[in-house]
């Protein structure tokens, strides 16, 4: 399924899902999230798809939730249900038996960073930038950031990124273990498709079992930790601190 803001295509067993809001650095709205989930789940369930590639059109991979909708609940969900819906698709990616690859260029921030973290392999462009700004907004990463990061880069560096909100460049991300390859920006899509094609051609059953075995080392703690993120974020959405920050941001926009 393709829409104006989401492109999908199936190429030799590789299901490609591309954000297409380049004017907003592929920031995620409620509508885009709904379509993205449907596309991802469709590919995860389709036996013709052997590997899934997550990517974004334009300058950036994904800058996270669109700030114009931050804190908004279009369908009237409570905060717990809203966060849980976002966590559910992240867990489906982590637990899928199919290899998931993320091709990251430009900004991968907040929820966009967490989408990249939920992939099994990350190929990044030399202009990629990663960051988690949530604590500065009075919130916390809530779709695996606090759990997947320590498993990849260790607790100290994870703590640094989560608490400070600092951004790191592609070479730092590679050096810390966040990415498996750094390539020139104009080579990113070709290299990602080349890798995905190789993964899609591997024996299906052995690939599925191998992914399960690698994930087994941390699957339990990560799933439990994501549950703790859910409880923490639900509480923070109702906190005075978050409401004050959100109101200041709204007032600032109105002043401009």
- The predicted pLDDT at position 75 comes to 75
DSSP codes, the chain: --BTTEEEEEETTEEEEEE--GGGTTPBPHHHHHHHHHHHHHHHH-TT--EEEEEESTT-SB--B-GGGTT--TT---HHHHHHHHHHHHHHHHH-SS-EEEEE-SEEETHHHHHHHTSSEEEEETT-EEE--GGGGT----SSHHHHHHHHH-HHHHHHHHHH--EEEHHHHHHHTS-SEEE-GGGHHHHHHHHHHHHHHS-HHHHHHHHHHHHHTTHHHHHHHHHHHHHHHHHHHTSHHHHHHHHHHHHHHHH-
Confidence of residue 256 (pLDDT cuts 50, 70, 90): very low
Q: Determine what percent of the chain is predicted with pLDDT higher than 90.
A: 89
Q: Is the pLDDT of residue 245 over 60?
A: yes
**Confidence (pTM):** 0.94
Q: Is the pLDDT of residue 252 over 70?
A: no
CA distance 94 to 211: 10
Topology at the third CATH level for domain 6-187: 2-enoyl-CoA Hydratase; Chain A, domain 1 (3.90.226)
Q: Is the pLDDT of residue 221 over 80?
A: yes
Residue whose tokens read 């899934």: 52
- Cα 2-46-85 angle, rounded to 5 deg: 70
User: Averaging pLDDT over each range in 56-70, 159-173, 235-249, which range is the top one?
Assistant: 159-173
Active site residues: 114, 134
Q: Is the pLDDT of residue 26 over 50?
A: yes
Mean pLDDT, the chain, integer:
94
Calculate mean pLDDT across residues 22-47: 97
- The predicted pLDDT at position 253 comes to 54
Calculate mean pLDDT across residues 99-125: 98
- On whether the CB atoms of residues 100 and 52 are closer than 8 A, the answer is yes
Confidence of residue 43 (pLDDT cuts 50, 70, 90): very high
Boundaries of every domain in the chain? 6-187
What strands, in cross-sheet order, belong to the sheet with 129-131?
107-109, 129-131, 167-169
- The predicted pLDDT at position 171 comes to 98
Q: Is the pLDDT of residue 254 over 70?
A: no
**Alpha-carbon distance values, 168 to 14, 128, 157, 221, 255 (Å):** 30, 8, 11, 26, 31
Q: Is the pLDDT of residue 237 over 70?
A: yes
pLDDT by residue (tens digit) across 169-211?
A: 999 999 999 999 999 999 999 999 999 999 999 999 999 999 9
Confidence of residue 68 (pLDDT cuts 50, 70, 90): confident
């Amino acid at each position: 399924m393709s829409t104006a803001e989401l492109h999908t295509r199936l190429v030799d067993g590789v299901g490609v899902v591309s954000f297409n809001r380049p004017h907003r650095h592929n920031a995620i709205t409620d509508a885009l999230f709904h379509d993205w989930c449907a596309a991802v789940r469709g590919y995860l369930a389709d036996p013709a798809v052997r590997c899934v590639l997550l990517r974004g059109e334009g300058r950036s991979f994904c800058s996270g939730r669109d700030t114009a909708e931050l804190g908004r609940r279009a369908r009237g969900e409570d905060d717990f249900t809203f966060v849980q819906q976002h966590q559910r698709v992240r867990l489906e990616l982590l637990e899928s038996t199919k290899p998931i690859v993320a091709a990251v260029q430009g900004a991968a921030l907040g929820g966009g960073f967490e989408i990249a973290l939920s992939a099994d392999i990350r190929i990044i462009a030399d202009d990629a930038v990663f960051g988690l700004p949530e604590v500065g907004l009075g919130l916390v990463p809530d779709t695996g950031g606090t759990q997947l990061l320590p498993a990849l880069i260790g607790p100290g560096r994870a703590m640094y990124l989560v608490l400070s909100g600092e951004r790191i460049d592609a070479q730092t991300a590679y050096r810390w273990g966040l990415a498996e390859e750094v390539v020139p920006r104009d080579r990113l899509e070709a290299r990602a498709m080349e890798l995905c094609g190789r993964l899609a051609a591997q024996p299906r059953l052995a690939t599925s079992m191998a992914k399960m075995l690698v994930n087994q080392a941390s699957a339990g703690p990560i799933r439990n930790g994501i549950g703790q993120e859910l409880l923490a974020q639900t509480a923070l959405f109702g906190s005075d601190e978050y409401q004050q920050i959100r109101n200041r941001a709204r007032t600032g926009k109105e002043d401009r």
